[in-house]
Structure 1
Amino acid sequence: MSDGFPGYTPVHGDTVQLTADTLVVTITGKITSRGVLRDGAGFAELVLPDGDPQQRRDLERATWLHYRLYGGGALLYSSGHLQVRDVRRDADGALVVAGSP
């Protein structure tokens, strides 16, 4: 478990507890946490199933987030307090939320 940058190797889980501004939600499904380097800056990316349009809209309006990723009930990764930098869909239609310290 980490409380810093997630690293460049993706971590796959099945449940995420996500807090963003006033949104507090638990999401299940195929979830990935990974670190990416873009324009010399490190970002934590969380890839979620995009099953609820309202959650997507809430995340697009959010200014900060924190998440805890679980796999089989075990905590795999806990992010720090992140500023939301990007919310988008990837080529497969999954929701991608990127944040940085």
Structure 2
Amino acid sequence: MTFPGTRPIHGDAVHLSIDTVPLVFTGAITCQGILEGGRGYVELTLPDADPNHRRALERCTSYSWDLYRDGALLYSSPTLTPSGIMRRTGDGALVVKGSPR
């Protein structure tokens, strides 16, 4: 699949591959394409349940994911290069921003 578009896609599970390490997140998950300065990025919003997952995301050089809802695949990302990670105020969710390689 390609750029997810600017309309949010909501799922309940994501299988994330960080470099070569697989991680699984469950809960309220959203991915959305954003445009900044003429470039396309993808933001993935994850529940922040494990500090080790956040640290792994902060150190990674590439990542990709498959987003699911009720077991059905909604979106499969290309390999992305991380360009930012932040904790959202209020619910503490992680927002990971990346661009295609």
Shorter-chain-normalised TM-score: which range? over 0.9
Q: 1: CA distance between counterparts of 2:20 and 2:76? A: 19
Deviations 1:30-87 (A, max 9, x none): 0001001122211011000011101000000001100000001100000001111111
Q: 2: CA distance between counterparts of 1:100 and 1:41? A: 8
Residues 1:82 and 2:80 are matched in the alignment: yes
- Identical-pair percentage: 52
Residues 1:97 and 2:96 are matched in the alignment: yes
Which residue number corresponds to residue 11 of structure 2?
Answer: 13
Residue pairs, 1:1-101, within 5 angstroms: 3-92=1-90, 93-101=92-100
TM-score normalised per structure 2 = 0.93
Q: 1: CA distance between counterparts of 2:98 and 2:84? A: 7
**Structure 2 residues without counterparts, runs of 5 or longer:** none
| 2:35 aligned partner, one-letter code | L
Q: CA deviation at 1:23?
A: 2.4
Aligned-residue RMSD, C-alpha: 0.9
- Secondary structure, counterpart of 2:78 in structure 1: coil
Q: 2: CA distance between counterparts of 1:76 and 1:51? A: 22
Q: Moved runs in structure 1, 4+ residues, more than 3 A?
A: none
Deviations 1:5-42 (A, max 9, x none): 11000000000000011321111000001001122211
TM-score normalised per structure 1 = 0.93
Deviations 1:76-100 (A, max 9, x none): 0000011111111122311011111
Count, aligned residues: 99
**Structure 1 residues without counterparts, runs of 5 or longer:** none
